[in-house]
Chains A and B, each alone.
Chain A
Amino acid sequence: MAMAADDIAAMIRAALPDAEVTITDLAGDGEHYAAHVVSAAFRGQTRIAQHKAVYAALGGRMGGVLHALQLTTAIPT
């Protein structure tokens, strides 16, 4: 089962309300996405913690229905 890009973005924003989320459908197949998430909540967190926060927002779908999500995180400048 694939997920729609809008659903992915909405789930991330629900957990990180200030987040600027950019989703790119890498292959145009609704299966391979890249997500770039910018949030002030990441300040002071390690990269692992930042990525885990996004994975938590996706409620266990990462590694399951969402196999191919390339993730980058950043703090707003």
Chain B
Amino acid sequence: MTDTTTHARIAEIVNGNDVVLFMKGTPLFPQCGFSSRAVAILERIGVEYATVDVLQDMEIRNGIKDYSDWPTIPQLYIKGEFVGGSDIMMEMYEAGELAELVEQAGIARA
């Protein structure tokens, strides 16, 4: 279970950033193939995004899975909404839906 403080911290991050990726490692040094793939997709779309390295914070690493009811990391949030993990990001990217979502949300391109 996630305590309320962790839940509030996650909510603050998710609602305080238009695009935020919870990942293992950093965009420059991803520590997992799935996180690496998620970063590559965001770079390809060319959108500004924030990242949270869950390996640096066990509370967030566990809490984010409860927050979204999603068992794995990475996790992408756009405008406070959970979008999906790297598989869904890839499916949406290939279908042109991710760029569309960014466009509709009126998010600045990097």
Is B truly associated with A? yes
A70 to B84, CA, bound (A): 13
Chain B interface extent, by class: 10 to 19
> For B84, what are the chain A residues with a Cβ–Cβ distance below 8 Å?
47-48, 51
Partner of A63, one of B71, B87, B92: B71
Query: Does B91 contact A62, Cβ atoms closer than 8 Å?
Result: no
Binding site secondary structure of chain A: mixed
> For A51, what are the chain B residues with a Cβ–Cβ distance below 8 Å?
84-85, 87-88
Q: Looking at A48, A60, A64, which has the most chain B CB atoms within 10 Å of its CB?
A: A48
Query: Does A63 contact B65, Cβ atoms closer than 8 Å?
Result: yes
A72 to B65, CA, bound (A): 20
